[in-house]
Chain A
């Protein structure tokens, strides 16, 4: 099989060109003052960095982290019990429930967001003033990304050796303690992958905050979108690099935490 090493080369070049090169270009762009994306007449400047001092940007980043945090929090709070109940149920048709879980994902995500907005602005909800509020943005994020939390947890729970739980029960450990000491630690890696899968889009998306927030809720994704709409490539690149850095940092912190917490 070793003779097929060469098959990796096209993909390697592809990744260098499309994943690595843009990062270099973006970092270079942050030091340039230019008109749109054209390099003609571009000159070296710290203009983009000066704009970063604006406190409203720190607030946008903070807002995004808050929305992402609550979205992840509620997704774990709802998603874990769901996956647990389905996985440990004696139902014959577990697959049917899973199918029901996937079904909403067959609808276009943008259209689902628009549908929520239509519901929030309908006469049944008019008293709550949901559209344009942070709570509504978080709520829609939770319902949109919940399946991404349930699936990894469910997969891990299905693979879990039920003998361990039975052994713990047979040895007289209370059920709740068994869950805390056996089931939870063994399924925590599913929770971690779920958290990353929910955190990433929730923190950086702009469709939900733009549509449900009626443009009043501004997250980092909204800033990026409006900056590129105005052809501010240097400032936009700086924000993109910053977002990547923050996300890498969060994931690194997370994987470190994950390793430390791993049982045995």
Chain B
């Protein structure tokens, strides 16, 4: 009886491991193909996926294919700026929302949910329509300006989502004590409240950057005048059949770098912990 039960548990455990690994594997397939293609000599051609020999040529192409590297630079430019601005904007908006009365707060919460609950495509179209009305006045507005505003627009709610709950947990007494002791309110805000939100702000910024750099749909509608981003480069060049395999290489490189940073960071924090022991 006992043996039979343990046999059943073993089977169950095997099933669990197999299930999770299979699901993980399915999400991993595209990443593996990207790695494979980044070293593949025939990655670029129209012939079906096949191994044409090992090469670093694709990595060189990141810097030699003008359209590709310009789209990469555009992507980074928009994402970095929109992350910085969205984070600052989101933190101050959170502080403001936190101070609101209950009724005003409800309206704000509702409005703040619009960008998150609306589908990306409608968000993209909304912003495109709004700016196309301004086109007669500013003919050059499409491009960096529109994409930047759109990215700030759809990432700020996520920053607020991270910062606001943390703000609610922070002790107001500390801030009030500082004010009572004669510290000006704005200075107390910067010296006490904002430092206590450090992790939440960092998380918010990280989410904002991740969403922004990977965005396709909203950028699709707000690109223009030769300004685009990496996702849209992949989409348009793939359908126009002038896709550069450097895109695989760039993506693989980015993953390698991120992995390296994560491992270095975890090693560093582990050592720190051991040192403390």
Contacts and interface: CB of A to CB of B under 8 A. Distances in A.
Contacts of A200: 117, 119-120
Contact of B49 (A18, A118, A143, A147): A118
Given A116-B30, A207-B235, A6 B96 contact: yes
A103 interface: yes
Contacts of B251: 107-108, 111
B76 to A, nearest CB: 13
B20 A82 contact: yes
Nearest to A103: B31
B30 A146 contact: no
Chain B contact surface mostly: helix
Given A7-B99, A11-B89, A122-B49, A233 B248 contact: no
A32 interface: no
B28 A119 contact: no
Contacts of B100: 5, 8
B129 A18 contact: no
Contacts of B172: 1
B70 interface: no
Contacts of B118: 19, 244, 247
A260 B262 CA distance: 43
A37 B133 contact: yes
Contact of A116 (B29, B96, B133): B29
A9 B230 contact: no
B258 A110 contact: no
B114 interface: yes
Contacts of B129: 22, 25-26, 29, 37, 233, 237
B130 interface: yes
Given A97-B20, A100-B24, A112-B30, A7 B96 contact: yes
A30 to B, nearest CB: 11
Contact-size category for B: 35 or more
B7 interface: no
Contacts of B193: 1
Contacts of B114: 15, 19-20
A128 interface: no
A85 interface: yes
B126 A18 contact: yes
A12 B262 CA distance: 37
Interface of B: 16, 19-20, 23-24, 26-31, 33-34, 37, 48-50, 89, 92-93, 95-100, 104, 108, 111-112, 114-115, 117-122, 125-130, 132-133, 135-136, 149, 153, 156, 172, 175, 185, 189, 193, 210, 214, 216-217, 220-221, 230-232, 234-235, 238-239, 243, 247-248, 251, 254-255, 258-259, 262
27 contacts: A4-B96, A6-B96, A8-B97, A9-B96, A11-B156, A14-B156, A15-B115, A18-B126, A19-B111, A37-B135, A82-B24, A86-B20, A103-B259, A105-B210, A106-B258, A107-B251, A108-B230, A108-B231, A108-B251, A112-B31, A118-B37, A118-B49, A122-B48, A146-B23, A203-B119, A204-B121, A211-B238
